C-alpha cells in the first residue's frame, strides 16, 4: 500500500511539474505542443477546462466570475499597431474608427491617404490632421506606423491601451509578397521577380534573399517581405542580417514587446481575438460586430501567383531561418494568447453568441432594404438590445480609404467649429485680430465673422489693424490637403 501511494505521489508531482512548465508566462512551448495547437481545430484546442476543485474545495468556475459589461467604464484610448498583411487588419481598423465616430473621439490620421509613416518610426506633427480641439494627445491610432514607444508617447498617454495583432509568418510573408509585388514593387522585389518569373512564390520561399538583399538597412520600404511584422513593431535593423543568429537580441526584442503591449492578438483566431479585445476594453457587442473587409489578394486563376506550394522540409527550414524574427515573435505570443483565452470564464459561450449575431448581421446587410430599415438584436446573456441600420452596414463595408477620409473630414469640421465657437477671441482696444502659433500653424481669427484660417508659418503675420472684415463673397475656404492649410482669404482693413 505504501509503495502504491508513493507511486501515485510521484506521478502527481511529475504531472504538476509538466503543467507548471507549459504554463510559464512568456516561454515558448515545446515544438510538439505548438504543432498540436496548429493542427487542432480552434474549438478543440481552446475548449474550456473542466471545473477544478482546489485544496479548500472551492470550485474553479466559482472563482472565475463571468464578465459583466457595463460594470466598468469602457476604454476609449487605444493604440493599435497595424502590422502589414496580418489578415483582417482593415476589419479591426474599421471597428476602431466606427467606435471613434460614435463617440466623437480624436483619431491620429495622416493629412492624406491612409498611411502615417511606413518608412520610419518618426511621426511628423505637420503631416497629421491636427487634433479637433487643439490638444496634443489623441484617442485612437489605427493607421500604419512603424511602432516606437518613445514616438507614440508624444501623441498618446501612457494610460492608452496598446494592442498589436500578428499572423502565422509564412502566410503573412506570402500575402505581403503578392500584394507589394503586384501593386507597389520595389527595386528589390523587381530583382526577385526577374529571377523567378514563372513561379515567384516558390522562388521566394527557397531563395528569399533574391527578393530582399538586407543591405538597405535604413530603407524600411525594402523590408515589406522580410520579417515585416517585427519591423512594424519596432525591430532595430542595425546589423540586421547577423542579428538573426543572435538569440540574446531576439529575446530582448520579445521582452520589450511584452512590456510595451497590453494585448497581442492572433489574426489566425480572429473572432477569439475580437472577443478578447472586447473583454479587455469593456466594449459593447454592437461596437465589435463587423463585415469582413479586404479579406484576400485577388489574382487571376492562371496567374503565376497561383502555383501550388512545394513545401519540403528544406524549403520550410530555409524560410524559417530567413524569417526568424517573425517566427520567434509568433511562437512567443501564440501560447500567451491561448493561455489568456483559457483563463477567461465562459469564453466559448460568448464566442458562440457573437458568431450567431454576426451571422444575422451579415444576412441583414446583404439584403437591407427600405422595407426593413434596421435589424433588431434582442438582449441576451452577452449583450444589451441594439439595432443595426443600413447606415451601419455601409460603414462596416466601407473600403479603408473611404472610411479614413470620412473620419478625416469630420475631424476637420469639428476643429473648425471648436475654434469658431469655443475659442472666439475677445476684442481689446487697438486689437481686432488675434494671432498665435499652435503646432507650427497659425490660427487667424477674423473678429466680425468668426471665420478662422490655418496657414503655414511662412505666410506673413498681419500687424494689428483697427478692425478686419472679410470682403463680401470672398470667404470661401480652400482646402490644400497635401500641405494642410487653408488659403488666407482676401480681407481689407476698415
CATH number of residue 284's parent domain: 3.40.50
**CA dist., res. 338 & res. 36, Å (int):** 13
* The pLDDT of residue 186: 86
Q: Quick one: 187 and 323 in the same domain? A: yes
346: left (phi over 0), alpha (psi -120 to 50) or beta: left
**CA dist., res. 437 & res. 450, Å (int):** 18
Block residue for cell numbers 482546489: 54
For residue 439, the enclosing domain spans 424-493
**CA dist., res. 196 & res. 181, Å (int):** 12
Are 234 and 148 a contacting pair, CB within 8 Å? yes
What does DSSP assign to residue 124? -
Are 174 and 201 a contacting pair, CB within 8 Å? yes
pLDDT in tens, 121-155: 999 999 999 999 999 999 999 999 999 999 999 99
Domain boundary among 348, 375, 406: 406
* The pLDDT of residue 467: 35
Q: To 5 degrees, how large is the angle CA 263–CA 264–CA 267?
A: 130
Q: Quick one: 476 and 344 in the same domain? A: no
Are 420 and 452 a contacting pair, CB within 8 Å? yes
Q: Quick one: 435 and 396 in the same domain? A: no
**CA dist., res. 167 & res. 173, Å (int):** 9
Q: Quick one: 267 and 367 in the same domain? A: yes
Q: Quick one: 159 and 275 in the same domain? A: yes
Residue 249 lies in a domain: yes
Q: Quick one: 401 and 434 in the same domain? A: no
Residue 432 lies in a domain: yes
Q: Quick one: 111 and 158 in the same domain? A: yes
Cα 332 to Cα 30, 36, 127, 222, 411: the distances in Å are 11, 16, 35, 26, 39
* The pLDDT of residue 304: 86
Residue 463 lies in a domain: yes
* The pLDDT of residue 430: 42
Q: What is the DSSP annotation of 165-232?
A: EE--HHHHHHHHHHHHHHHS--HHHHHHHHHSSS-HHHHHHH-GGGT--S--TT-GGG-TTSSHHHHH
The three grid cell numbers given for residue 447, joined into one nine-digit string: 473678429
Q: Quick one: 121 and 243 in the same domain? A: yes
Residue 152 lies in a domain: yes
* The pLDDT of residue 15: 55
Q: Quick one: 210 and 281 in the same domain? A: yes
**CA dist., res. 196 & res. 483, Å (int):** 41
The three grid cell numbers given for residue 492, joined into one nine-digit string: 481689407
Q: Quick one: 398 and 450 in the same domain? A: no
Residue 49 lies in a domain: no
Residue 73 lies in a domain: no
437: left (phi over 0), alpha (psi -120 to 50) or beta: beta
The three grid cell numbers given for residue 480, joined into one nine-digit string: 490644400
**Domain count of the fold of the chain:** 2
Domain boundary among 337, 372, 406: 406
pLDDT in tens, 50-59: 333 333 334 4
Residue 278 lies in a domain: yes
Are 443 and 420 a contacting pair, CB within 8 Å? no
Neighbours of 67 (CB within 10 A): 17
DSSP H or E run through 475: none
Q: Quick one: 94 and 220 in the same domain? A: yes
Beta-strand pair 263-266/161-166: parallel
**CA dist., res. 426 & res. 164, Å (int):** 46
Q: Quick one: 263 and 402 in the same domain? A: yes
* The pLDDT of residue 241: 86
Domain boundary among 338, 371, 406: 406
Residue 137 lies in a domain: yes
Residue pLDDT tens, the chain, 494 long:
666 666 666 655 665 555 444 443 333 333 333 333 333 333 333 433 333 333 333 444 446 677 777 778 999 999 999 999 988 889 999 999 999 999 999 999 999 988 999 888 999 999 999 999 999 999 999 999 999 999 999 999 999 999 999 999 999 999 999 999 998 888 889 999 999 999 999 999 999 999 987 765 557 777 889 999 999 999 988 888 888 999 999 999 999 999 999 999 999 999 999 999 999 999 999 999 999 876 555 555 658 888 888 899 999 999 999 999 999 999 999 999 999 999 999 999 999 999 999 999 999 999 877 678 899 999 999 999 999 999 999 999 999 999 999 999 999 999 999 998 875 654 444 443 333 333 333 333 333 333 333 333 333 333 333 333 333 333 333 333 333 333 333 333 32
* The pLDDT of residue 466: 34
Amino acid at each position: 500500500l505504501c509503495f502504491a501511494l508513493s507511486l501515485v505521489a510521484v506521478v502527481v508531482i511529475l504531472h504538476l511539474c509538466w503543467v507548471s512548465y507549459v504554463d510559464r508566462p512568456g516561454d515558448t512551448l515545446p515544438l510538439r505542443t505548438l504543432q498540436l495547437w496548429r493542427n487542432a481545430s480552434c474549438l478543440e484546442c481552446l475548449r474550456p477546462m473542466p471545473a477544478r476543485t482546489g485544496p479548500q474545495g472551492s470550485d474553479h468556475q466559482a472563482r472565475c466570475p463571468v464578465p459583466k459589461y457595463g460594470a466598468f467604464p469602457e476604454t476609449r484610448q487605444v493604440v493599435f499597431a497595424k502590422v502589414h498583411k496580418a489578415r483582417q487588419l482593415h476589419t479591426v481598423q474599421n471597428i476602431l474608427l466606427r467606435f471613434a465616430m460614435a463617440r466623437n473621439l480624436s483619431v491620429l490620421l495622416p493629412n492624406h491617404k491612409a498611411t502615417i509613416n511606413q518608412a520610419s518610426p518618426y511621426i511628423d506633427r505637420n503631416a497629421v490632421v491636427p487634433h479637433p480641439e487643439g490638444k496634443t494627445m489623441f484617442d485612437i491610432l489605427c493607421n500604419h506606423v512603424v511602432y516606437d514607444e518613445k514616438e507614440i508617447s508624444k501623441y498618446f498617454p501612457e494610460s492608452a491601451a496598446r494592442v498589436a495583432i500578428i499572423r502565422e509568418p509564412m502566410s503573412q510573408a506570402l500575402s505581403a509578397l503578392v500584394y507589394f509585388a503586384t501593386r507597389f514593387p520595389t527595386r528589390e522585389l523587381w530583382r526577385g521577380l526577374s529571377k523567378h518569373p514563372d513561379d515567384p512564390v516558390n522562388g521566394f520561399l527557397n531563395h528569399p534573399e533574391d527578393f530582399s538583399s538586407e543591405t538597405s538597412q535604413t530603407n524600411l520600404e525594402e523590408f515589406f517581405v522580410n520579417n515585416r511584422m517585427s519591423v512594424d513593431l519596432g525591430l532595430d535593423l542595425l546589423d540586421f542580417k547577423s542579428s538573426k543568429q543572435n538569440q540574446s537580441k531576439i529575446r530582448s526584442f520579445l521582452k520589450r514587446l511584452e512590456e510595451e503591449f497590453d494585448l497581442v492578438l492572433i489574426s489566425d483566431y480572429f473572432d477569439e481575438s475580437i472577443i478578447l479585445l472586447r473583454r479587455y476594453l469593456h466594449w459593447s457587442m454592437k461596437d465589435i460586430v463587423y463585415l469582413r473587409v479586404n479579406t484576400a489578394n485577388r489574382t487571376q486563376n492562371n496567374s503565376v501567383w497561383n502555383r501550388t506550394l512545394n513545401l519540403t522540409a528544406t524549403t520550410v527550414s530555409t524560410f524559417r531561418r530567413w524569417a526568424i524574427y517573425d517566427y520567434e515573435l509568433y511562437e512567443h505570443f501564440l501560447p500567451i494568447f491561448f493561455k489568456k483565452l483559457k483563463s477567461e470564464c465562459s469564453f466559448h459561450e460568448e464566442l458562440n453568441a457573437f458568431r450567431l449575431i454576426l451571422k444575422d448581421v451579415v444576412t441583414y446587410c446583404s439584403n437591407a432594404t427600405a422595407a426593413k430599415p434596421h435589424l433588431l438584436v434582442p438582449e441576451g446573456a452577452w449583450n444589451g438590445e441594439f439595432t443595426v441600420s443600413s447606415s451601419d452596414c455601409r460603414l462596416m463595408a466601407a473600403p479603408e480609404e473611404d472610411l479614413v477620409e470620412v473620419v478625416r473630414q469630420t475631424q476637420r469640421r469639428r476643429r473648425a467649429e471648436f475654434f469658431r465657437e469655443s475659442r472666439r477671441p475677445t476684442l481689446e482696444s487697438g486689437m481686432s485680430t488675434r494671432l498665435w502659433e499652435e503646432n507650427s500653424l497659425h490660427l487667424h481669427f477674423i473678429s466680425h465673422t468668426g471665420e478662422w484660417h490655418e496657414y503655414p508659418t511662412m505666410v506673413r503675420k498681419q500687424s494689428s489693424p483697427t478692425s478686419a472684415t472679410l470682403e463680401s463673397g470672398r470667404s470661401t475656404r480652400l482646402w490644400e490637403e497635401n500641405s494642410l492649410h487653408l488659403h488666407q482669404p482676401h480681407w481689407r482693413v476698415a
